[in-house]
A and B are shown apart, each in its own frame.
Chain A
Amino acid sequence: MSDLVEVIDSRKKIDVNKIREDFPVLHQEVNGKPLAYFDNAATTQKPLQVIDALQAYYEKDNSNIHRGAHTLASRATAHFESTRNHIREFINAPSSEEVIFTKGTTESINLVANTYGRKFIQEGDEIIISTMEHHSNIVPWQMLCENNNAILKVIPIFKNGELDFEAYKKLLSPKTKLVAVVHASNALGTVNPIKDMIQLAHEYGAKFLVDGAQSTAHLPVDVQELDCDFLAFSAHKLYGPTGVGVLYGKRELLEKMPPYQGGGEMIKEVRFENTTYNDIPYKFEAGTPNIADVIAFDQALTFIKDCGKDKIHAHESQLLAYAFDKCATIKGFEPIGTADEKVSVMSFNIKNTHPFDVGIMLDASGIAVRTGHHCTQPLMDWYGIEGTVRASFAVYNTVEEIDRLYNSLVRIAKRKN
C-alpha cells in the first residue's frame, strides 16, 4: 500500500534533477561555489529548448515576417503566429487577435495607458492602484493622470502584505474608470484576490488591468475565468527570452483603442492625405517585432506545459514553506510579507545588517538573490525600510540549495545579532 502511495506521489512531483539538466547556466561555479540561483522573480533561467530554438531560427529560418512571398518568410511567420496561438491557449484568451506582442510587461502597461487611457480617461476620472505596485504599474498612470487631469487612488495594505479589501471597496465609485493591480507582488509574493476585485470593479463599470508579471509563471491565469479587461506579462520571467512581452485585451476594447505607435505593420493603407489602420493585433505592433525571441518563447511555453503548472506550483510552494520555516529560526531574521496566499518569494531583512551587505555575502557563497527596493519604493516607504533581500524560487531550485542559503544566513546574522 505504501509503495502505491509513493508511486502516486512521485507522479505528482517534479523530477528536479532531470529538469536541471535542461538549464546549462545552473551548472557552474560562482566565486568557487556551485551557483544557487534565487533571483527568479527578476528573471528566470532559460532551458536548452529555448536556447536551441533561438539558434535554430537564426541558422535556418531568419526572415522578416508577414507579406513575404518566399519560403523562409512563410516559415518564420508561421512560427511567430503559432506562438501567438500558444499564448492564447496559455491564458485561455478567446482569440489570438487579442494577444499583442510588446517588449515586456512595462510596455504592455504603457500601451494601455497611452491608448485606452489617453482616449477614455477624462478629467476628474479616477484610477485605482495598490500600495504594492511595481513602478511600472504606478508611473504610467501618474503620467496619464497628469496629462488628462485624472486622479490616482491607492489601495492600502496590512502589515502582513495583504491588500485591504474593505478599503478597496470604499475607493470604488462611479468615478472609477480603471483599476490596475498586480496579481502577485514581486517584492512580497502576496497573491491578490484578483477575481473578486475584477468583479467589484465591473459593478462600477470600471475596466481592470492585471499585472501578471509575477503570477503567470506560478499560477493558473485564465483571462476568461478572471474576466479581466487587460493582462500584461513578460516572457523572460516564464523561462523565455528577454525582450518579449504580452498584452491581452478584450476585443471590444482593443478595437476601440487608438494605435500606440505609427509605422509599418500597423497600417492598412497609407496615403499622404489619410492613413487607415490595420486590424488587431497588428494595429498595436508597429515595426519589425522581436521575431527570434517570440519564436523561442514558444519552447518556454511547451516547457511549462510539460512540467505541469500545478506541479511547478506545488514544488515552489514546498520550497517556500521549507525556506520560511528554516530561516524563521535564525536570530535577527525579519520576514517582509507573510500573506496567506503567496507565490514563491521570500522577502526579508537581517537585523542590523544592510540588505546590500547580505546580498554581497551571499554572492560570495555562490548564492544569487536580489537586494534593494525591487522597483517598489512606495511599498518600502510604507514599511519604513530601505529595501529587502529577496530570494525567489523556481522549478529548478532544490531543498539542498535552500539549506545552503540557510547556512549562509546563519553566519551573516551572527555578525550583528
Chain B
Amino acid sequence: MEDINAIQDEIIGEFEILGDDKESTIYYIMELGDQLPDFPETERKEDNIIKGCQSKVWLITNLQDGKIQFLADSNTAITKGLISLLIRVLSGRKAKDIMNADLYFIEKIGMGNIIGSQRSNGLAAMIKQMKMFALAYQSKIDA
C-alpha cells in the first residue's frame, strides 16, 4: 500500500509543476499514454472493452508472482493517458492492495476539471473494472 501511495504522491508532484496550464497538462497526459507498452492486436476485441467509457478502452490482466499486471489501450490519446496513470499506480500490485487502494491522486490533480464530468464517469468505470479484476483474483487465491 505504501508503494501505491508513493506513486500517487509522485504523480501529484508532477502535476503541481504543470500548474494551471491546461494545454501543457493535456499534452503531458497524452505523452504518458504514448509511453504505454504495445497492446497485443489479438486482445483488441469486444470482450476486453470496458463498458461505460465514451472512448474505447481495452484492458487485460495477468498474474505474475502473485501480482496483477495490467495492459491497456484506447482509441483516444487522452483516455490512453488517463489509464496509463492508473496502470502506473495499480499495476504490479497484490490483489488485496488494489482492492483497498484509495486513489486520492485523481482529486488532488484536479482531474475533474481537466477531463470534464462525462470523462470522469469513464475514469470511474476504469477504476471499477481494475478493482473487479483484483477481486476476482483474490477470490481465486482465497479458494
Q: Please give the residue numbers on chain A whose beta carbons come within 8 Å of chain B beta carbons, in ascending order.
A: 31-33, 353-354, 356-357, 360-361, 364-365, 386, 415
Q: Mark B100-133, 1 if CB is under 8 A from A, else 0.
A: 0000000000000000000000000000000000
Is there contact, CB below 8 Å, between A361 and B27? yes
Check if B26 sits within 8 Å of A353, measured CB to CB: no
The complex places the Cα of A365 from the Cα of B27 at a distance, in Å, of 11
Residue of A nearest to B77 (CB): A357
Residue of B nearest to A30 (CB): B22
The proximity string for B residues 4-47 relative to A, scoring 1 for CB distances below 8 Å and 0 otherwise, is: 00000000000000001111011100100000000000000000
Residues of chain A with a CB closer than 8 A to B54's CB: 356
Task: Tell me, rounded to whole Å, the shortest Cβ–Cβ distance linking A28 to chain B.
Answer: 15
| CB nearest neighbor in A for B33 | A357
Contact of A31 among B23, B55, B76, B77 (CB under 8 A): B23
Cα separation A356 to B27 with both chains bound (whole Å) = 14
Q: How far is the CA of A10 from the CA of B78 in the complex (A)?
A: 45
Q: Which 5 A-B pairs have the closest CB atoms?
A: A31-B22, A364-B23, A354-B76, A364-B22, A357-B77
Interface residues on B, range: 10 to 19
Residues of B within 8 A of A386 (CB): 75
Nearest-neighbor residue (CB-CB) of B115 within chain A: A360
Q: Contact at A356–B23, with CB atoms within 8 Å?
A: no
CA distance A26 to B58 in the complex (A): 39
How long is the Cα–Cα vector from A269 to B110 in the complex, in angstroms? 61
For the complex formed, measure the closest distance between the CB of B78 and the CB atoms of chain A, giving whole angstroms. Answer: 5
A415 — which chain B residues lie within 8 A by C-beta?
A: 30, 77
- Whole-angstrom distance from the CB of A210 to the nearest CB of chain B? 34
Residues from 42 to 85 in B contacting A, C-beta threshold 8 Å: 54-55, 75-78
* A33–B23 alpha-carbon span in the complex (Å): 10
A354 near B77 (CB under 8 angstroms)?
Answer: yes
Interchain CA distance A353-B74 in the complex, whole Å = 12
CA distance A161 to B30 in the complex (A): 32
Taking a contact as CB atoms under 8 Å apart, the answer to whether B23 and A365 are in contact is yes
Query: Nearest Cβ distance between residue A414 and chain B, in whole angstroms?
Result: 11
- Shortest C-beta distance, A111 to chain B (Å), equals 32
A353 and B39 alpha carbons, distance in the complex (Å): 17
In the assembled complex, the Cα of A322 lies from the Cα of B30 at a distance in Å of 30
Given contacts A353-B77, A354-B75, contact A360 B26 (CB under 8 A): yes
Tell me which residues across on chain B come within 8 A of A33, comparing CB atoms.
Answer: 23
21 contacts between A and B (CB under 8 A): A31-B22, A31-B23, A32-B21, A32-B22, A354-B75, A354-B77, A356-B54, A356-B55, A356-B78, A357-B30, A357-B78, A360-B26, A361-B26, A364-B22, A364-B23, A364-B25, A364-B26, A365-B23, A386-B75, A415-B30, A415-B77
Additional pairs, 5, CB under 8 Å, beyond known A356-B78, A361-B27: A353-B77, A361-B23, A361-B26, A364-B26, A415-B30
- Tell which of B21, B26, B75, B77 has the most Cβ of chain A within 10 Å: B77
Which of B20, B30, B75 contacts A32, CB < 8 Å?
A: B20
CB-CB under 8 A from B30, the residues of chain A are 357, 361, 415
